[in-house]
Structure 1
């Protein structure tokens, strides 16, 4: 698939017809509060839907209760094992590369600012972390799994943001496109898949081609479940590179909102890490993973640790050598990674479960009411040529 300015422009004016119609009907009938109250009891796949659920919501939940028929479950299992093998590194890439990349797209930063809570700046990271952990559990798509209900709610959350911004005329559709449009949804999918893989490569993580492709495939499945147009989404890593490069060249730049969100992110992780000695590592990692230009746009401070973090790939290489040479070492490191990820998630959520409720109004504060074989080591696709 070839992406052009015209094809990307077309994606800017398309949302999610199914979810948008459900949310519009819920607001029109005054049923959002009832929906949110009842949906707090729907957290696992296969659970009976509660009595009193609005008919339009019930129909939506039933229609979206299963993954796409085309899913390759062998590939999904490879992705899960890849995640287990690299969960700490993936969490690092999500936190210090993927999220800042969102902030370096000014209209996305503006939208995120409009939907963040000043009193709980970790909410976005907590939701992303919890969502990823749900996705990579063995029972993610089985009865009792938590991923599909979370995805159903996230899809409606996105639709509700589009609904509010359009209804209150607080978004310039002509200049900015539809809020959370298809281009931005695919862009987000690329941030959480290809950009994460790029960051792991930059950190010196030894990834197999099979593992990297499986991880990307898992996010393709996620995109389909979240309403991404499968006729437009990149089908492999080479197409992903072409899309992501063009997307970033079209949109990236500095913004006050992006700098503000990045400051919140840095403060959040400095609070998570005990003491203050290692606080500068947060800024240094962001600079290392997203590059000097983007870091300057986001006003990420330079610190004495900027040079130190450049030895991280060598340190990780030693750990991976231990993992490769010893089954016991591999088990211990994977277990440590699992516990570290859960500890980070617990700190971000403050022990809460993220329910992804449909907001009845937007925040006024912002002006808006292991197991994969290590063969064929993966290297990133070449940059897309300009055109």
Structure 2
């Protein structure tokens, strides 16, 4: 007697699940922001937040009551955090800081701009007139996350993540309450769908970019890096019942999220053009300027690159040779502790130069917008190479 065939497991993510996430916000942060706007306290909060940059310090005396309650409620990491895995993530970051920043800058950010709804959200903020500010905020945020004291008194990560969460809620408030957003057509602005989408774009897409560049990564390191972003997602108000639990689920979510949302838009074109000009300005001279669009095109692919109107050029072919060069360097690094130290030191210096160029040596402050635009050390041994999860059936 033949056994009864079993149906394949239903995927955790489908259009119905993401449709539901598209209607959900962040109740704690949303209520805090709504209360402060109703009481006219946003200006005072922005001033006081400049003096609250370090975890464990007493909140300013004149902090609005709603904000003080919010900062108190969000002052500790989730109780479920595995600190051994977070240490693995920190070591992974130390080993790959320059590559991670490359993935963030040349893959994750452009991919976000190729999502018209997200590009519109970003374009609605005055801060996007200064693209270095967003890149500086992102780079500093990741650097704070990967420091040894990120979750202890004296760290700057927890205040940073608390402020970013309020900033997201403020953007939702403006767009939803100001009549600038069609919730029925586009879902809630900065909904759970997009919040989780941002988490996977800043984790899995970075790992994908590193893999495409030929960077050697262990399975444990890649999973730990993704785990760190799960912790970030929880602290940013993501619905953890819906957040991918590992890289395999992250692939499923990412594939579906991008299939649902990718497309061309003028906001995306403008934002990416600003981003490329920023990168070109960071590197002295003009000789290497063409490598910026070539690298982005190589990492995001021709379809997204064409949607973003990234110019083609003679450096496109050269960019395809980068994995070969990096692969050779990584092989040398793997075979010699001295070479490994030298490569890590060089990567650290490059990362520091990039961040210093963007921040001008200043601490970046996250402020709630009063309005929106009217027009919108010791490393664990490597145990094999990380390979990206296979595409999900939805793709």
TM-score bucket of the superposed structures, by smaller chain: over 0.9
Name the Cα RMSD after superposition.
1.2
Q: Offset at 1:182? A: 0.2
- What is the aligned counterpart of 1:372 among 380, 387, 393? 380
Give the whole-Å Cα distance in 2 for the aligned partners of 1:39 and 1:265: 27
Q: Which residue of 2 aligns with 1:384?
A: 392
Which structure 1 residue ranges, 5 or more long, are not aligned? none
Q: Which residue of 1 aligns with 2:4?
A: none
Q: Which residue of 2 aligns with 1:13?
A: 23
Would you say 1:90 and 2:87 are equivalent positions? Answer: no
Q: Which residue of 1 aligns with 2:6?
A: none
Which structure 2 residue ranges, 5 or more long, are not aligned? 1-10
Q: Which residue of 1 aligns with 2:7?
A: none
Q: Offset at 1:152? A: 0.2
Q: Which residue of 2 aligns with 1:302?
A: 312
Q: Which residue of 2 aligns with 1:338?
A: 348
Give the whole-Å Cα distance in 2 for the aligned partners of 1:271 and 1:149: 30
- What is the aligned counterpart of 2:190 among 159, 180, 190? 180
Would you say 1:132 and 2:142 are equivalent positions? Answer: yes
Give the whole-Å Cα distance in 1 for the aligned partners of 2:123 and 2:243: 26
- What is the aligned counterpart of 1:28 among 38, 41, 64? 38
- Once the two structures are overlaid, the 10-residue window that deviates more, 343-352 or 178-187, is 343-352
**Contact 1:208 1:372 (C-alpha < 8 Å) held by counterparts:** no
Runs of 4+ residues over 4 Å off in structure 1: none
Give the whole-Å Cα distance in 2 for the aligned partners of 1:128 and 1:118: 13
Give the whole-Å Cα distance in 2 for the aligned partners of 1:119 and 1:251: 24
Q: Offset at 1:305? A: 0.5
- What is the aligned counterpart of 1:247 among 248, 257, 267? 257
Q: Offset at 1:374? A: 1.1
- Once the two structures are overlaid, the 10-residue window that deviates more, 337-346 or 240-249, is 337-346
Give the whole-Å Cα distance in 2 for the aligned partners of 1:292 and 1:172: 31
- Once the two structures are overlaid, the 10-residue window that deviates more, 341-350 or 211-220, is 341-350
Q: Which residue of 2 aligns with 1:322?
A: 332
**Contact 1:150 1:356 (C-alpha < 8 Å) held by counterparts:** yes
Counterparts of 1:276-295 in structure 2, within 5 Å, are 276-295=286-305
Q: Which residue of 2 aligns with 1:230?
A: 240
Q: Offset at 1:117? A: 3.3
Number of aligned residue pairs: give it: 384
Q: Offset at 1:323? A: 1.6
Q: Which residue of 2 aligns with 1:117?
A: 127
Q: Which residue of 1 aligns with 2:57?
A: 47
Q: Offset at 1:119? A: 4.4
Give the whole-Å Cα distance in 2 for the aligned partners of 1:341 and 1:287: 22
Q: Which residue of 1 aligns with 2:230?
A: 220
* SS of aligned partner of 2:202: helix
Calculate the TM-score normalised by the size of structure 1: 0.97
- Once the two structures are overlaid, the 10-residue window that deviates more, 370-379 or 167-176, is 370-379
Q: Offset at 1:145? A: 0.6
Q: Which residue of 1 aligns with 2:5?
A: none
Counterparts of 1:255-270 in structure 2, within 5 Å, are 255-270=265-280
Deviation digits for residues 206-232 of structure 1 (CA, Å, limit 9, x no counterpart): 100000000000000000000000011
Q: Offset at 1:326? A: 2.1
